[in-house]
Structure 1
Amino acid sequence: PQKVLEFTESFIKDFVGNEYIYPAVAPHAPYSTSKENLLKSKGIADKYGVPILIHVAETQWEFNEILNRYGAHPFEYLNRIGFLSERVIAAHSVWVDEKEFEIIKKNKVSISHNPESNAKLASGIAPVQEFLDYGINVALGTDGACSNNNLDIIEEMRTASFLQKIKYMNPESLSARDVFKMATENGAIAIGLGEKLGTLKPGKWADLVVISLNTPHMNPVFDPYSHLVYVAKASDVKATMVNGKFIYENGEYKTLDIEKVRKDIKEIEDLVKKVIFNGD
């Protein structure tokens, strides 16, 4: 763990202030990381003013494990040891007791909702609508490729909205506008960049995605928010801009050697097959 913490601090030093890379500290979870290393992680984040990413209450097993081990629910435990703050982004947060809501809100913790990962692993459905109603900041994430293969944020918006409607048996739960805000403005707030990102306003960084309306399935358009969440596909994205610079436009990747990326991925694929599947 000490070497990992040293590497993390070195990485943060290298990339703090970088235009495209925003570093963070990421202890895995309260059941897999000791109290000592959780607090060391917090210390690094506080020192450099970066976020802390951590999985919290992803599964029922984790909820019960923390309760049995520490005599507290996951957020209660993290609050007790002094880990929580506005820097913390708690991924998943599926198994959260209502009495923990005030702890989350009081410490200004943000929740990162990852609905497709939670569905694929049968972890459960997070109480997102209840979080939002309570005034908790909820952003939208994809989790990693191990538990959510395509990492498609447009698809994630749609799934998030649909699952909340099923959870509460209410077609008005988690509207298109609310889930779009989770994917944009709330995410910026979560990483501490709400004053620079998340909305298109004069003086903010021009981070945006251009989506085409020139395909049959994208017409007619009556409500842009509803259309983005319930109709759009990743293939409709025509351009991506970061801080005023196009990094993808009309099929061209401006900052990547895409053929080299494909070659590197194929090498990794072959290695995985060799190690796990004996080459098959």
Structure 2
Amino acid sequence: MIQYNKENIRIFQSSLYLTTSAVIELDEAIILTDPNWLPHEVEEIKGYVNQIRKDKQLYIIYTHSDFDHVIGSGAFPDARVVASRKLSENVHKEDIMKKVKLFDQKYYLERNYEPKYPTVDYIVSEDGQQLLIGSSTITFYLAPGHTDDGLFTVIEPLGVFLTGDYLSDVEFPFIYSGYFDYVQTMEKAKNIFSKHAISVHVPGHGHTTESVVEMQNRLTFSREYLDQLLDEQANLEEILTEKYRFFEGMKDIHQNNKELARKEQSRKIALEANG
């Protein structure tokens, strides 16, 4: 499962959708993100955490509430959970956990823990909110657009940027909650790269990178893709087919993106016309 392993950062990768889970060892704590997917994968992550943890506090950061990212909740009962206020107060908690149950039922999967929707101990309510752990500073930014409860995390002085389901090298933007929110979140990502010295970028799906050029390429493509969604003349499918190996499996999401973006644009124009 190990995709990236350097000093005190280990990134685990699931067999499903190239989904990542980061384990970051600080002097005073262990940071874990989105433990996932399959039962033996969650166990492998848990085994490594237990190996390095000693007497340190474990923090789990949930980047958003898609069921594949909270499926490991329950495997780490004594962890302190960090997430956005919207994730904590999500009115669709039961539906999300039903998707977890259905997934396990469909593939006859048995887990040695009971998946539960995360109970959040440290709620992030605003951009720039910080959690200080010893010599480390963890800065959070709200990141709506993919879902409305997304969260960006920057861990310093390591320079780690955890983006959840944004800025992936294997997925174009998946817009589930709001097109203009997504556009603003990409502007926020641009500002984060300017404000913080990012040396490691970890997306929720895809590959960890230390290349500043690659980080900027991911951001630039996401912004260009969002702009072109509103352009009737843009031949996006051809570009996406060439760029993304698994585009055939994501084609429906692209069509949904176009419909959502254009509906929001029409609404915005109508509101502006009515004053």
TM-score, normalised with respect to structure 1: 0.29
Higher strand share: 2
> Taking CA–CA contacts closer than 8 Å with sequence separation of 6 or more, which of the two structures ends up with the larger relative contact order?
2
Higher helix share: 1
